[in-house]
Structure 1
């Protein structure tokens, strides 16, 4: 599976490792920021909290991944990656 992803993205193993690290750190940062933002809202941890948390994390994720990708030198990869995701979402709505 990892070989297929590496070949699909046409990257070296070193760059592949940096990309996966960016995904992991960006996702962790996104979850942390989501909890931090919702702590200011003083919501009880019920169904509404978790629905809002999912929405907040979904909105924050692209920004967190792009921010983390800069020091890892993978900004161009993630800019293209997020552009393809956006294109797929837009085309499905038509």
Structure 2
């Protein structure tokens, strides 16, 4: 599995480890930040809470991953990754 990722992303084993750590920490930080924001907003209805949370996580995740990628030295990889993801989703052209 890791070999396929290394080949797909054209990275070495150390860089793959840094990328996976960035994904993990960025995702955790996104969840933490979204929860803090949701506690501040405090929507009362469950469907509003769920909708806002999904939108918030979708908006915050790319920013959080880019911020986390800087100390790991993976900013260039994630900038390219998020750009490709945005193009696939139709946000960027």
TM over 0.5: yes
Q: Show structure 2 runs of 5+ residues with no match.
A: none
Partner of 2:73: 73
Aligned residues: 91
Secondary structure, counterpart of 1:40 in structure 2: helix
Task: Quote the offset at 1:45 in angstroms.
Answer: 6.4
The 1:45/1:3 distance shift into structure 2, 3 A limit, reads: farther
Matched residues in 1 for 2:37 and 2:2: separation? 34
Task: Quote the offset at 1:86 in angstroms.
Answer: 1.3
* Cα-Cα RMSD: 1.4
Q: Which runs of 4+ in 1 moved over 3 A?
A: none
- Per mean C-alpha deviation after superposition, the further-off stretch among 40-49 and 72-81 is 40-49
Task: Quote the offset at 1:29 in angstroms.
Answer: 0.4
Task: Quote the offset at 1:44 in angstroms.
Answer: 3.2
Normalised by the length of structure 1, the TM-score is: 0.90
Q: Show structure 1 runs of 5+ residues with no match.
A: none
1:90 has 2:61 as partner: no
